[in-house]
Amino acid sequence: VITDVSAREILDNRLEPTLRVTVETGAGTGRADVPCGRSRGANEAVDLRDGGDRYRGLGVRTAVGNVEERIAPELIGTDVTDQRAIDDRLVSLDGTPDRSNLGGNALTGVSVAVLVAGAATLDAPLYRYLGGVDASALPVPLFDLIEGGELGASGLDFQEHQVVPTGADSFSEAVRRCSEVYHELGGLIESEFGPASLDVGDEGGYTPTGLTDPRDAFDLELRAVEECGYGGEFSLAVDVAASELYDPDTGTYDVMDERMTRGELVDLYGDLVDGYPLVSIEDPLHEEDFDGFAQLTDALDVQIVGDDLFVTSPDRVQTGIERGAANALLLKVNQVGTVSEALAAASRSRRNGYAVQVSERSGQTADTWLADLAVGLNAGQIKTGVSRSERTEQYNRLLEIEAELGSAATYGVDAGPCLTDR
Ligand code: PGA
Ligand code: ZN
């Protein structure tokens, strides 16, 4: 049973505060750091911040207080492995649809720390506690090699230009190839844009100033892939994060210094899919455009991922399924606030033929529960950035899991039709 729940204010990769929650049982301890998004969906659970001058308003002392004073007394004495009941309790204690009372960050920290403590109490690795003996799928990583939008200083409007090692035979081979391509691309970027362009964005991908057209980013990535000898072994993917480009007043999107209508943007996607090995497009349209998502899903034979569209909410996933919007879920626990709701969103997606991509946030720490979550769900896909420790620790944990699983480990088979059959 749970004997203590505590929280602290710590720092994330942006040197901004976030929460670290610890759950103790007599038999084990669970600790979880809470990630934080910058390009956030309007329908996400509220990230509770203190305001005021301290940490420029971003302090999380209120959320820490909520964990220790309002949540802890309710959870002490309960069975740590009863994740569902604990998450239901958290949701009802908060009592708001957007988790603005206790804070989505407070809820997420407690819910994930309970999960980690459950695994520790049973002395099982987190991925196995979550997925049982069936948990064996190492995810295909989507490497955000070139960043734009809110997360990078480049002139690119699309937020992430990812390479996908679909042709690798194993996870470790995939990571090795991505590392080689990343450094090859660095050389290309340095010779084209100068050494100052080797800075990285929030997810550890390059963000060279001077690039504006996604095609130029794709060309650079494909050149790096070719020069490493992996021609045809990589696919491309993007996260457009289109809500950030959308102007509700005019109903248009600001892309490459043009105001594009939905139709023009859809045509652009058609051209990109025709001209490039592009297999996955995340948030191609703004977060309330279920109809547009449905049209695009129908028109293009690629993966259409709902991030801000679904915000990992089982209800919004249900709406998507009913309307044929998207064919993949981006899963971020802190968008919804509890592990059980995220799992419900994932299983609802899976039952309806939607792929599941487990995702980091642009604000992260080196905590690796995300890697275990991906394997525990047999999600088949992960996006967790590129370089720097809050990213590479996820890969390191996945490499460790791959080694632990040995011949039981699979790669690619659970990634869904678009990332499996190029
Ligand atoms: P965020 O960005 O973590 O800042 O929300 C990542 C994404 O949009 O997928
Ligand atoms: Zn996104």
361 is in an annotated binding site: yes
Q: Which residues have CB under 6 Å of ligand 1?
A: 37-40, 159, 239, 241, 307, 359, 361-362
Q: Give 54-69 as a DSSP string.
A: GGGGT--HHHHHIIII
Name the phi and psi angles at 142, rounded to 5: -100, 110
Among 411, 372, 367, 419, residue whose Cα is nearest residue 170: 411
Relative to the CA of 282, which ligand 1 atom is closest? 9
For residue 186, give the H/E element and its range: helix 171-193
Residue type, 118: G
CA of 329 to the centre of ligand 1 (A): 14
List, for residues 371-402, the tens digit of each pLDDT value.
999 999 999 999 999 999 999 999 999 999 99
Per-residue pLDDT, 150: 85
Residue 196 confidence (pLDDT): 86
pLDDT for 421: 56
Atom 8 (ligand 1) nearest CA? 39
The predicted-structure confidence for 222-242, as pLDDT tens digits, reads as follows 999 999 999 999 999 999 999
Q: Is the pLDDT of residue 422 over 50?
A: no
Whether 332 has a binding-site annotation, put simply, is yes
Query: What ligand 1 atom has the least distance to the C-alpha of 151?
Result: 4
Residue 283: its pLDDT value, please? Answer: 98
Return the pLDDT at 151.
78
The alpha carbon of 173 is separated from its chain's Cα centroid by a whole number of angstroms, namely: 22
Mean pLDDT across 170-195: 97
Q: Which amino acid is at 340?
A: S
**Percent residues over pLDDT 90 in the chain:** 96
Per-residue pLDDT tens for 97-140? Answer: 999 999 999 999 999 999 999 999 999 999 999 999 999 999 99
Instruction: Check if the interface score ipTM surpasses 0.90.
Output: yes
CA–centroid distance, 336 to ligand 1, in Å, is: 14
- Using the structure block, give the residue that is written with the tokens 């734009």: 148
Question: What confidence tens digit (pLDDT) does each residue in 277-303 have?
Answer: 999 999 999 999 999 999 999 999 999
Task: Show which residues are catalytic.
Answer: 203, 332
User: For residue 241, how far is its CA from the centre of ligand 2 (angstroms)?
Assistant: 5
Q: What is the pTM of this model?
A: 0.97
Determine which residue's CA is closest to atom 1 belonging to ligand 1.
37
Chain Cα centroid distance, residue 158 = 16
The owner of tokens 């604990």 is 86
What DSSP designation does 318 have?
A: H
Q: Is 301 labelled a binding residue?
A: no
Which mutation among 158, 332, 382, 390 tests ligand 1's pocket best, with the greatest number of atoms within 8 A of CB? 332
Tokens coding 139:
């995810």
Q: How much is the pLDDT for 403?
A: 98
Atom of ligand 1 nearest to the CA of 150: 4
Predicted confidence at residue 44, as pLDDT, reads 98
Q: Provide the residue type at 192 as one letter.
A: E
Mean pLDDT of 86-96: 98
- C-alpha 44 – ligand 1 centre gap (Å): 11
Flag whether 100 is marked binding.
no
